Amino acid sequence: MPLYKQEHLQHISQQFRIYGQILHAELCKIGHINETYTATYEQGGVTVRYIHQKINQGVFKKPVEVMENVMRVTEHLRAKLRTNGARQCTRRSLTVVPTHEGQPFYVDEEGNYWRTFVFVERVQSFESVQTPEQAFEAGRAFGEFQNLLADLPGDRLHETIPDFHNTRKRFAALQSAIEADAADRVRKAKAEIEFALAQEPWIDTLLQAHAEGRIPERITHNDTKFNNVMLDWETGRAMCVVDLDTVMPGLVHYDFGDMVRTTTSPTMEDEPDVSKVRLQMPMFEALARGYVQATRDFLTPEERSHLAFAGKLISYTIGIRFLTDYLQGDTYFRVHRPDHNLARCRTQFQLVRSIAEQEETMQRFVEGL
């Protein structure tokens, strides 16, 4: 981390209700959107850690609304966990550390929004799934998250990114990006574009089911990547889920679909060798068992009947978002190498193919749960 940033971060850190002195901070490389630092402090002779995070305002246009959602959600989770007699509540749900004025964020002199969380210790996250037990834990954790939020009182949460998982709108954005060809990359992505456009017949399935009142809106996480689940070092059990910026009204399938996308293939999201990308049935089965078990109280048979399809839909949707960003010159997702977004798109589309091949078996399994 460059020095000027350290000084800046020192200044930021002093705005929050943290006792003790900041010793050092490191940039966290996980995540394509926000800027995240792990900061170590000295407090009464021991070291403790906090997360400082700068919200990406290019992506989150209304950071105040983001933090309103985050506060309502984390406070509700904490209250429910306490009522349920859970131990180690600050390891089971994120805790926002307020500023000295009691605000959930600090706005710096450049207009950047910063927030601070208690660092959850003795947990780890993974970029790709290692065992079916982990897949089960991911399904259970996000299922429990939805279940705990099912009775959130008050107004509808803000839509922090409108139409976030609206595949039809994402499809239209892709079409515009192809038309504009702003970065002169259409010719390099010919095969991917062709594949993307050919899937159009099924992309409205869930939007239609929702419009017809067959599946309800719920409170969903919307970014249920496997690396957003924190697993206990010792027990391997999921302790908490992180990255709450997109918690908002949605369909349960957006969450389950993104879990299938990130928790069933042995590969990373940007695996260069697409022949390694595939949905592994044992992972899917464990994931679905964990999820269905945790959502038993509210999930309707109609919702359950679309779970297998959801994996294909969300892998496709994220795939066309990577493709669109590639065509537009990489303005949204952080990239670390040339053609990175194209590589990410290819793995998503390979997964779509793999799911399509196994969709009936997946469907039968879910129906039998």
Contact partner at residue 59 from ligand GN1, Mg ion, none, CB < 5 to 8 Å by partner kind: ligand GN1
Taking the alpha carbons at both ends of the chain, their separation in whole angstroms is 49
Q: Which of residues 227-256 bind Mg ion (CB under 5 A)?
A: 243
Residue choice 12, 16, 32, 288 for contact with ligand GN1 (CB under 6 A): 32
Give the total of residues touching ligand GN1 (CB under 6 A): 10
Q: Which of residues 49-68 bind ligand GN1 (CB under 6 A)?
A: 59
Point out which span in 26-34, 99-107, 114-122, 361-369 binds ligand GN1 (CB under 6 A): 26-34
Q: In the complex, what is the shortest distance from the CB of residue 310 to ligand GN1, in angstroms, rounded to a whole number?
A: 14
> Helices 252-263 & 132-149, crossing angle to 10 degrees?
160
Determine if 243 is a binding residue for ligand GN1 (CB under 6 A).
Answer: yes
Q: In the complex, what is the shortest distance from the CB of residue 123 to ligand GN1, in angstroms, rounded to a whole number?
A: 17
| Nearest-angstrom CA–CA distance, 79 and 82 | 5
Point out which span in 31-39, 47-55, 113-121, 184-192 binds ligand GN1 (CB under 6 A): 31-39
Q: Are 241 and 328 in contact (CB under 8 A)?
A: no
Determine if 223 is a binding residue for Mg ion (CB under 5 A).
Answer: yes
Nearer to ligand GN1, 15 or 347 (CB): 347
Q: In the complex, what is the shortest distance from the CB of residue 129 to Mg ion, in angstroms, rounded to a whole number?
A: 18
Contact partner at residue 28 from Mg ion, ligand GN1, none, CB < 5 to 8 Å by partner kind: none
Residue choice 5, 20, 28, 33 for contact with ligand GN1 (CB under 6 A): 33
Determine if 223 is a binding residue for ligand GN1 (CB under 6 A).
Answer: yes
Q: In the complex, what is the shortest distance from the CB of residue 151 to ligand GN1, in angstroms, rounded to a whole number?
A: 26
Determine if 269 is a binding residue for Mg ion (CB under 5 A).
Answer: no
Give the total of residues touching Mg ion (CB under 5 A): 2
| Nearest-angstrom CA–CA distance, 346 and 353 | 11
Where b means 16+ CB within 10 Å and e means fewer, 39-68 reads bbbeeeeeebebbbbbbbeebbeebeebbb
Point out which span in 2-10, 29-37, 84-92, 174-182 binds ligand GN1 (CB under 6 A): 29-37
Contact partner at residue 269 from Mg ion, ligand GN1, none, CB < 5 to 8 Å by partner kind: ligand GN1
* Binding-site string for Mg ion from residue 169 to residue 208, where x marks contact by CB under 5 A and - marks none: ----------------------------------------
Footprint of Mg ion on this chain (CB under 5 A)? 223, 243
Footprint of ligand GN1 on this chain (CB under 6 A)? 31-33, 59, 223, 225, 243, 246, 269, 318
